[in-house]
Amino acid sequence: MTLTSEHTEAGGSASQPPQPPSAPPALSPVELSRWAWRQLTSMRTALVLLFLLALAAVPGSVVPQRNIDAVKVADWQDRHPQLTPVYDKLGLFSVYSSVWFSAIYILLMVSLVGCIVPRLRIYWRALRAAPPRVPRHLDRLPESRRFELDEDADIVLVRARTALRGKHYRVADHDAAVSAERGYLREAGNLLFHLSVLVVLVGFAYGQMFGYKGSVVTVVGQGFSNSLSQYDDFAPGRLFSPDDLAPVSLHVDDFHVKFLTSGPEMGQPESFDANITYHSRPGTPAQQHDLAVNHPLTTNGTSVFLVGHGYAPVVTVRDGQGNVAYKGPVVFLPQDPSFRSVGVIKVLDAQPQQLGFEGFFLPTYGFTMQQGPFSQFPDALDPVMSLTPYHGDLGLDNGKPQSVYSLDKSKLKSFPSSDPKRLGPDARIKLSPGQTVQLPNGLGSIRFDGVKRWVKLQVSHSPGKGIALGGVLLGIVGLMGSLFIRPRRAWVRVTRTTDATGRGRTVVELAGLDRSSGGDLAGEVDELERSIRTSDTAPHEESPA
């Protein structure tokens, strides 16, 4: 950028006849790489990269991300079929592991290393160097004082040295002068901060490579053991191997939830927690833990979190031949704060035809003509299931994977409704606990036995978090050093003269320089002046400033 502008300026101002454009001499590979390195490690490049990093992080907050919420990504892709392939190619569904995002932060790290390595060398040299020599014209520095004292030059100089040392200056003696410097730790803090960025990145990357995060829905009264097949969804790091799963197992004994029954936040959960019994590895004694939000279980390097809860109505389905074809809890997924939940029941073993049910679970039943059935309150006060039964082929025999939360209706048929005009074409059944409904044509029956709850557990292992945390804390220490330590230089020179009466006088020249911007330099120089004058007991006429 600068180069071009200089070129155009030179071309514009020169009134010489235009010369034929000649190619500049080609750079040798060494020169080229040196030039590229210098460009990359320049502050301007670092600034541009910082901006790019900020900018590149934005799309990840707008477009749903695969590693955060795969379901939402799928939803989004369904709604935007045309944009999906484009976005996919750009890596917009996994911004933070995309090539371009990685390229920016890797370049930034290279630039950072290229910046701090030479500075380390300079700093090392500066640390050992004596404070710089005394400038000839102290009065040209930003803050300077000149005053006269009675005492001998040596005494004044000793006092100046003490005053400077008292202010934590490093002092060097010269001929009838001292130079002093302080605030060496500022650059140390600066370097520490930049190194800590690398440490954080290493810790973060380590966790991303070797860690994992998975979630599992467990019905209260059932258990979970830490193996891949148990997870509903699982996001491993790139270098994760299933052997890394710690052999933790747990059993969900009980679950409590309290909803607010009054006030503006009515229906919000006030608290929820699950009592679990766990083994950190096979053979170890069972232990108890009360799992709640902000109160996870951490054992054997694995953390278990309670991240959600919902209802699992227990049903018994009999088939057309009167046999129990399904019995047990079915997980329904809550859709809104009232815990209106949707779910499906797939009865594979039903004869002569397979049966399927799809519908709602409403923890506190309500009904209006406009809304149809709905849930009035999230707690199970008057639980009702409202289901649409299907019969036929569930489509599970061909081995194609299916979601447990949806029915493949291509080979299923519903039952005709008794009043198609008012209730819609498909027959629906409404069940309260203890009720049984017979399906038409003697195809079977369904009984609503009761309500259980389920909890969603998130299991994760993030190694390297200690490294990352340590890195950030170091970074803050370094940052404070680099922002608040003021590097300063000060000089004192004494000259012996005689005044008009022939009395010996010592002229003191004092000057200060603040090497960072800001800071009350004048105040500090004033204080130094006061210290140097202090034991000068005799009152003096004001010296000209």
Partner 1 sequence: MSTAQFAAFSDNAIMFASIVYVLAFLAHLVEWVFLRSLPAPEVAEDRAPVLVAATAELSGADVAGTTPPPDKSAEVQDRELRVETWGRIGLALTVLGCALHFLGLVSRGLASDPVRVPWGNMYEFTLAGTFGVSVMYLALMKRYHLRWMGVVVTGFLVVVLMLDQLVLYTDAGPLVPALHSYWLVIHVLAAVVASGAFAVGALALGLFLVKDRATRRGRLRPGGYLSRLPSVESLERVGYRVNAFGFPIWTFAALVAGPIWAEYAWGSYWNWDPKEVWAFITWVIYAAYLHARATAGWKGKAAAAIALVGFASLLFNFVGINFFFGGGSLHSYAGR
Interaction site with partner 1 (CB under 8 A) = 43-44, 46-47, 50-51, 53-54, 57-58, 60-61, 64-65, 67-68, 72, 96, 204, 213, 260, 263-265, 268-272, 292-296, 303-305, 307, 458-460, 462, 465, 468-469, 472-473, 475-476, 479-480, 483-484, 517-518
Residue number with CB closer to partner 1 (329 or 464): 464
Residue number with CB closer to partner 1 (188 or 314): 188
CA dihedral 119, 121, 123, 125 (to 10 degrees): -150
Q: Where are the beta strands (DSSP E) in 229-336?
A: 233-236, 249-259, 269-279, 287-292, 297-299, 302-319, 324-329, 333-334
Closest approach, Cβ 519 to partner 1, in A, equals: 9
Residue number with CB closer to partner 1 (107 or 292): 292
Please answer whether residues 491 and 216 qualify as being in contact, where contact means their C-beta atoms are separated by less than 8 angstroms.
no
Rounded to a whole number of angstroms, the CA Rg of the chain reads 38
Closest approach, Cβ 307 to partner 1, in A, equals: 7
Residue number with CB closer to partner 1 (46 or 120): 46
Closest approach, Cβ 363 to partner 1, in A, equals: 18
Interatomic CA distance for residues 305 and 290, integer angstroms: 11
Residue number with CB closer to partner 1 (204 or 234): 204
Half-sphere exposure of 68 (CA within 13 A, CB side): 14
Cα distances (Å, whole numbers) of residue 475 to 43, 98, 194, 460: 20, 26, 7, 26
Closest approach, Cβ 270 to partner 1, in A, equals: 6
Closest approach, Cβ 69 to partner 1, in A, equals: 8
Q: Which phi and psi angles does 84 have, rounded to 5°?
A: -50, -55
Closest approach, Cβ 248 to partner 1, in A, equals: 14
Residue number with CB closer to partner 1 (75 or 253): 75
Q: With left for phi above 0 and alpha for psi between -120 and 50, is residue 170 left, alpha or beta?
A: beta
Interatomic CA distance for residues 460 and 456, integer angstroms: 13
Minimal CA–CA distance to 319: which of 389, 384, 387? 389
Residue number with CB closer to partner 1 (203 or 363): 203
Residue number with CB closer to partner 1 (313 or 464): 464
Minimal CA–CA distance to 509: which of 495, 496, 523, 530? 495
Closest approach, Cβ 206 to partner 1, in A, equals: 13
Minimal CA–CA distance to 456: which of 242, 213, 247, 286? 213
**Bridging pattern class, strands 269-279 and 249-259:** antiparallel
Residue 390's contacts (CB-CB under 8 Å, 6 or more residues apart) are: 355, 356, 357, 358, 407, 409, 412, 413, 414
Minimal CA–CA distance to 234: which of 209, 205, 219, 212? 212
Please answer whether residues 228 and 242 qualify as being in contact, where contact means their C-beta atoms are separated by less than 8 angstroms.
yes
Place of tokens 């379901």: 71
Closest approach, Cβ 52 to partner 1, in A, equals: 10
Interatomic CA distance for residues 403 and 386, integer angstroms: 20
Closest approach, Cβ 68 to partner 1, in A, equals: 6
Closest approach, Cβ 483 to partner 1, in A, equals: 5
The 10 Å CB-count burial string (b at 16+, else e) for 78-116 is eeeeeebeebeeebbbbbeebeebeebbebbeebbebbb
Closest approach, Cβ 44 to partner 1, in A, equals: 7
Closest approach, Cβ 263 to partner 1, in A, equals: 5
Residue number with CB closer to partner 1 (53 or 185): 53
Residue number with CB closer to partner 1 (208 or 386): 208
Q: Measure CA 515 to chain center.
A: 35
Residue number with CB closer to partner 1 (381 or 476): 476
Closest approach, Cβ 58 to partner 1, in A, equals: 7
Residue number with CB closer to partner 1 (4 or 498): 4
**Tokens of residue 300, six digits:** 């054997």
**Burial class of residue 283, CB neighbours in 10 A (0-12, 13-18, 19+):** exposed
Q: Where are the beta strands (DSSP E) in 29-80?
A: none
Residue number with CB closer to partner 1 (130 or 307): 307
